[in-house]
Amino acid sequence: MAGKKIELVYKEGRPVAVIIDIKEYKELLERLEDAEDLKMLKQMQKRKLRFKKLDNFLNEYKPNV
């Protein structure tokens, strides 16, 4: 966040909030999502692979759409 403007909000002399540029906020959200995706991927790589026939998968698959 070098060079970015950051505003601290204080209450009773203690910092309680941070105000940042919306672009910076969106970038932070993307980085958090990427970190969560990597964590999930690492967990998935530890599991044993299981394969199903396509027909069986399609019969079981219930999309939430």
Q: Give the start-to-end residue ranges of the domains of the chain.
A: 6-60
SS3 2: coil
Q: Exposed, middle or buried by CB within 10 Å (0-12, 13-18, 19+), for 20?
A: middle
Which DSSP category does 9 fall into? E
User: In whole angstroms, what is the distance from residue 46 CA to residue 27 CA?
Assistant: 29
Tally of CB atoms within 10 A around 27: 14
The mean pLDDT of 36-46, rounded to a whole number, is: 93
Instruction: Band the pLDDT of 64: cuts 50, 70, 90.
Output: confident
Is the separation of the CB atoms in 42 and 54 below 8 Å?
no
Mean pLDDT across the chain, nearest whole number? 90
